[in-house]
Amino acid sequence: MKKNVTVRVLCLIVAAVVLCSAVTVAAFMGSPYEILKKAALDAVTDHNATVQGQVTMTVDGTVLGESKLHYIQGDNGYMAYTYDEHSDIAGYNYSANGLNINSMSGFMTEDGTKWYCADVLHQNAPKMRFGGISMISVDDRNSPRMRFMELFVDAMVGDLKNNITMSSEDGIRLISGTLTESQVPELVKAGIDMIAEQSGAYHFEDREISFDGKEHVYEDIRFERNKKTVTTWKQSVRSLTSEEEEWLADGTFHDKVYEKDRDNFYGFSFIDGLTYVNEGTRIFVNEYTAPVTRDDFKDSDLLSIPMKNLAINYVHGEAKVDADGNLLSVDINGAVTFTNIFGDTSEVEIKGALTISDIGTSNPLCPIPGAQQLLTPEYMKDHFGYEYVGVYFTLNEDGSINEDSITTTHPGEIYRQTEIMVEKGILSPRIEIRLENGLTTTTTTYAEEVVMPQDTLTEEEEQSIDPFEVEFKIDED
């Protein structure tokens, strides 16, 4: 199992304990418990605010990983940033006033040109998830389901009310608490034991035994507690032809190969970073069951080995709530001792900080200057015949949209269609094709729209056009 999956499990455990301790005390109005519980639920209810946070995990004194969060929820939309493993901004997802731009959904051509993707929608895209939590609606907040969840947490609190303190300064209430292993509620202990037991059920796929360029022999290894089941398979493959490599690159392999002869297409194998075409179905060789040994994890770190036991050393949490009941910040830190099935132990420490600011005044700004004003339902209707549609485009040097580049055709399709049209004597660096009223309509970036009879394209060429990238307009009359 990959390291990050185990890490998430540990994060979930520590977060659950924090929720059950530092955020819960006694169930009576005016208590730290009720104050913090209401503030926390209000914080995850759809409202105007900016949320920023960071979590750091350390294993045996070495920083294993960090994750960051930055989410801006305005009255008419949101902006969510994505971070890479170095905690640098890797992308964003912006959705406001019916315009959605996800920088991670773009396309990079072979010449290094970056294409962006935007959707004009009837309404904003669904709310983002942050910190593992989806923002809930006001109706959900007051629903019987949420009331049941509150009562469930209340019932799990027990005597933890004695571990919580609250102080106040300048109208800000500081609520804090510390939990040790002996104070963990029985329900939480049972949940931890269940997770530890289930952690041994891993599935490692495609562990290579041999490959001679034509025959790939590999193992599927399934782990369950202290035993493993090893299944050996044999798959005949061949290399891609140069033509097939081009079809994969421009997105037409599915149409040209799979759709024409799907009964004789058996998928791909990915071996040593290369793609091969399967020739026939894989062949079963043998299967056996045996005890798990250290050699099975010789290339794995300690946290990737199945868990035998997880003991909570401590969890400490602090939260700030203002006079209006708004949650302003949460700081947590905790440590657990992880013991794997071979008896090796590691101490895992987690530190997290979350701040909520600009409550009621947050306003996500469009990351591409002028995009909100240009990409409107009216613009889409005038240029593409539909008010709500997705488009691709490149940017000018000043970061604004290159209006001449806007197209509904995927950039990979654009270059394929250009090659077809060049052969027909129509030279254009970028051409868009769509079917309208029985005619194939071709639009270039620097010439007037050209309308040609449908039979201008051969049957094979028309079949090679992805139907999902072609617009259809039906006359209502």
- The mean pLDDT value of the chain amounts to 76
Instruction: With 0.85 as the threshold, say if the pTM is over it.
Output: no
Question: Quick check: helix, strand or coil at residue 87?
Answer: coil
> Which residues, other chains included, contact 449 with Cβ-Cβ below 8 Å and sequence gap of 6+?
441, 442, 443
Summarised one tens digit per residue, pLDDT across range 138-179 is 777 778 887 887 777 777 666 666 677 888 888 899 998 888
Parse the chain into domains and list their residue ranges: 3-76+124-197+306-357, 202-303, 407-477
Residue 423 pLDDT greater than 50, yes or no: no
Question: Both tokens of residue 367?
Answer: 């990351």
Over range 190-212, report the average pLDDT: 76
Residue 382: CB atoms within 10 Å: 10
How far is CA 238 from each of CA 39, 219, 277, 284, rounded to the nearest angstrom? 60, 20, 5, 19
Which of 94-98, 136-140, 362-366 shows the lowest per-residue confidence on average (mean pLDDT)? 136-140
Question: How far is it, in rounded angstroms, from Cα 118 to Cα 112?
Answer: 20
3-state helix, strand, coil in the chain (%, to 5): 30, 40, 30
- The enclosing H or E element of 107 equals strand 107-108
Question: Both tokens of residue 206?
Answer: 């495609």
Residue 430 pLDDT greater than 80, yes or no: no
Furthest-apart CA atoms within the chain: distance in Å? 83
Contact status, residue 335 vs residue 348, Cβ threshold 8 Å:
yes
The alpha-carbon radius of gyration of the chain (Å, integer) is 28
Residue 365 pLDDT greater than 70, yes or no: yes
Question: How far is it, in rounded angstroms, from Cα 149 to Cα 290?
Answer: 43
Question: How far is it, in rounded angstroms, from Cα 337 to Cα 349?
Answer: 9
Over range 249-264, report the average pLDDT: 75
Task: Give the DSSP per-residue string, 375-434.
Answer: S-HHHHHHHHS-SS-EEEE-B-TTSSB-GGG-BSS-HHHHHHHHHHHHHTT---SSEEEE
> Which residues, other chains included, contact 448 with Cβ-Cβ below 8 Å and sequence gap of 6+?
none
Residue 475: CB atoms within 10 Å: 6
pLDDT of residue 179: 82
Q: DSSP alpha helices (H): ranges in 176-272?
A: 186-198, 242-250, 253
In 240-293 the beta strands, taken as DSSP E runs, fall at 268-271, 274-278, 283-291
Q: Which of 28-32, 238-242, 386-390, 400-404 has the highest mean pLDDT?
A: 400-404
> At 310, phi and psi to the nearest 5?
-135, 120
pLDDT of residue 25: 35
Question: Both tokens of residue 45?
Answer: 């209810």
Q: DSSP alpha helices (H): ranges in 199-259?
A: 242-250, 253
pLDDT of residue 126: 56
pLDDT of residue 295: 86
* 154 or 247, which is more confident: 247
Question: Quick check: helix, strand or coil at residue 48?
Answer: coil
pLDDT of residue 235: 95
